[in-house]
Amino acid sequence: MNGQPGWKVYGMTMAGAACWGLIGLFIAPLYERGFSPWDVAAIRAILSFLFLFVFMIIFSRNQLRTRLKDQLLFACAGVFSLALFNYFYFEVFSQSSLSLAVTLLYTGPLFVTVLSRIFFNEPLTLRKGLALAAAIVGCAFVVGLLPSGTLGISGSTLLLGILSGFCYALYSIFTKPVTKRYSALTVTTYTFFYMSVFMLLTSRLFSRPDRFLHSDVWISAILLALVSTAAAYVLYTGGLKHLEAGKAAILATIEPIVAVLVGVLFLGDRLTLWQAGGIALILYSAVLVAGRLRKRKATTVDEKVIL
């Protein structure tokens, strides 16, 4: 395979993104019970860390050992990426819709590609550029921003959405340097540790304990932590260990496909022809990224370096 990542790696990355696509099912009930976006981010952080930490203590205690200087990267990923990205993302969701929140979040791959070029010197190839363009246009079709472009949005909501994409991109940038030294489980556990500490210090999650008396709150919170957080980040970070950050981020655009399918199958949403075309574009972008080249020559069209 000449050192190229296998389809198992690509599948792992996309499976993690698919788990993210289910998140709307678990967040909506929490909003209905009066939790704010910052509260929901705190719930996600604390429960996810507890699940991951207990699992590691039982099955992978030796993987908790890390270099002290790497803790800074874990902390940056936990606070500047996870905590802020979750808040901005959930805030857009609460102010508008999940579809719009996902669309603005997926400005993230653009930021990842640019930042990876700056910090990791990852080449910006024509193939990657085409995949990125297809993914962005596909996302716009999936959520209805194209072809009509009639969605109303305030400037503050737009800014929050773009910030969610930028902070989302920072996860790949902060964790990429340590994925070669540690397992996906180690990276995910430590980043959520710092996120949970930050959220505990800044949120008022327990100011109204009566909200936790409802069974649907606990069911939603546990599924949010296990499915759309712990499993999602372990799978995605596991794929990132073997992929360029830019490629992993583009593959993660499978998330809006899952979000739309969940709406159609479980929430009574109707899939339009434009949305179907958007799904096809996103899948095409994943094929462009994952497709193995027969020859890696700088002069070929597929891998011609743009920057």
- Tell the residue number behind the tokens 């962005």, with chain if given: 136
- Tell the residue number behind the tokens 């075309």, with chain if given: 277
d(CA 69, CA 304) in angstroms, rounded, equals 37
| CA distances (Å), origin 278, targets 14, 143, 256, 260 | 17, 9, 10, 11
The pLDDT of residue 304 is: 56
Q: Give me the long-range contacts of 190-193 (CB less than 8 A, separation at least 24).
A: 190/66, 190/71, 190/74, 190/78, 191/74, 191/77, 191/78, 191/81, 191/82, 191/233, 192/45, 192/48, 192/49, 192/52, 192/78, 192/82, 192/229, 192/233, 193/49, 193/53, 193/74, 193/78
- Walk along the chain (307 residues) and give the pLDDT tens digit of each residue: 455 667 888 888 889 989 989 988 999 899 999 999 999 999 999 999 999 999 999 999 999 999 999 999 999 999 999 999 999 999 988 887 777 787 778 777 778 777 878 887 878 788 778 888 888 888 788 767 788 776 556 778 878 988 998 998 898 889 988 988 998 889 989 999 999 999 999 998 998 999 999 999 999 999 999 999 988 888 887 887 788 766 777 787 788 778 777 777 776 667 788 888 888 888 787 777 655 433 343 444 445 565 5
- Number of Cβ within 10 Å of residue 290's Cβ equals 21
User: Virtual CA dihedral for 46, 47, 50, 53, nearest 10 degrees?
Assistant: -100
The pLDDT of residue 28 is: 86
Residue 305: strand pairing partners: 125
Query: How distant is the alpha carbon of residue 225 from its chain centre?
Result: 14
Residue 125: strand pairing partners: 305
The pLDDT of residue 269 is: 67
d(CA 293, CA 303) in angstroms, rounded, equals 9
Sort 46 into a burial class: Cβ within 10 Å, 0-12 / 13-18 / 19+: buried
Q: What six digits make up the tokens of 211?
A: 């909200």
Amino acid letter at 73? L
The residue extents of the domains of the chain are 7-290
The pLDDT of residue 4 is: 64
User: Which residue, among 50, 5, 37, 9, has the nearest Cα to 225 in the 3D structure?
Assistant: 50
